[in-house]
Structure 1
Amino acid sequence: MKEELTEIYQTLLKELGPQNWWPADSKPEIVLGAILTQNTSWKNVEKALSQLKKHSSFDPYQVAKIPLEDLEELIRPAGFYKNKAKSILLVMDWFNRYHWDDRAILTLYQERLRKELLSLRGVGEETADVLLLYVFEQAIFVSDSYARRLFGTLKGTNYKTYGQLAKEIQLPKTMTVTDAQEFHGLIDEWGKLPTEEREKMVKLIQTDLLKDN
């Protein structure tokens, strides 16, 4: 499977080009985007982020001071704004306690970090893994809906839950953090393609996999 993952990654990279994902200029912006993108489109997230940027410049200490009702209005375009606002305030406060020192947080929690992230309100498996990948720069695989669709098509399996695919995927040690980030971005880009183009890409991947077997 690890060799197949490398081949799938290389094919997507060749066909779609570098994605330079996650689209953010700072780690606080990544965290905000990771929470806001839950159950909505990135277009809606961008609207909410734009309003947050005007209000706080993504300064996490300023975000943490925004009154709950005001924050709800700022992020309303992203949907589920009441729950997301509460989550943002709690998660910002958690990171602020550690002064956004991701190395210190990693040292403190080590292998318990994912469990700690999952204990935070509004942080599910996908959000936790996104934070591990982009904020803490750990080379892991994000088994989001696009990944489940791609690997489900390739393997003829219906991955109904995040955990189903996550249990099967372990990135090869040759993949760097940058590779893992690109892989996530490429899979999401594939998922946004029209159906015909997605199917064409799957056939290309299958052809490349057969060449190596």
Structure 2
Amino acid sequence: MPPPTGPVDDFDASASTAADPVLPAGYSMRSLDWADLPTVHALEQRLFPFDAWPLSFFEQELAQAGPESDGGTRAYRVVVGPGAGPETATDTVARMEAGTEADSNTTAGEAAGVVLGYCGLMCVPPLADVQTIAVAPEAEGRGLGTAMLLWMVAEARRRRATDLLLEVRADNPRAQQLYARHGFEHIHTRAGYYPGDAQQGTGRVDALIMRRHVVG
């Protein structure tokens, strides 16, 4: 499966030791639910036009989620905005597909617990892997990506992993710098892993494998 390519929010390195990162007021993080999949998939296609996961990938991942005691090897979370207004997940998908924006008088997520970010972790001790992490562009700069990344670090530790791995596109230096600020180091390059932009005639892009020790 294609791991995260990098459209994540700014991270606060000073919070890197937090056990359970705190979100900004009015935002919350919860487990990804089956009912969230249409919205998450629509956001995935919007953020990752060249290598978006198909809906079936999310379904396969969520089917493997749960506590270790039940055999679960995955853990997924979504970040939602404040309030409980009229917009449903179906409404959000329809609005995205139509290319329309939310009401200009509201901020991102203000309409109704709108999904603004999502992340997923695979853990088979002693290793854990960031499967995906993404934040909607209109919600960047609010620390949502920070909270999700730090939650995955904490969750990997809780599941007894010693190292957390991720892959990022070589043509995304901003994401690389942010991961590095959070203690991830480049340990390997996977040549030509990501697709390029066929319309622009760009070739395939290398993936940088990065690692962070989560214990010791």
TM-score range, shorter chain: under 0.3
More strand by share: 2
With structure 1 as the length reference, what TM-score do the two structures score?
Answer: 0.28
More helix by share: 1
With structure 2 as the length reference, what TM-score do the two structures score?
Answer: 0.28
Structure 1 or 2, whichever has the larger Rg, is 1
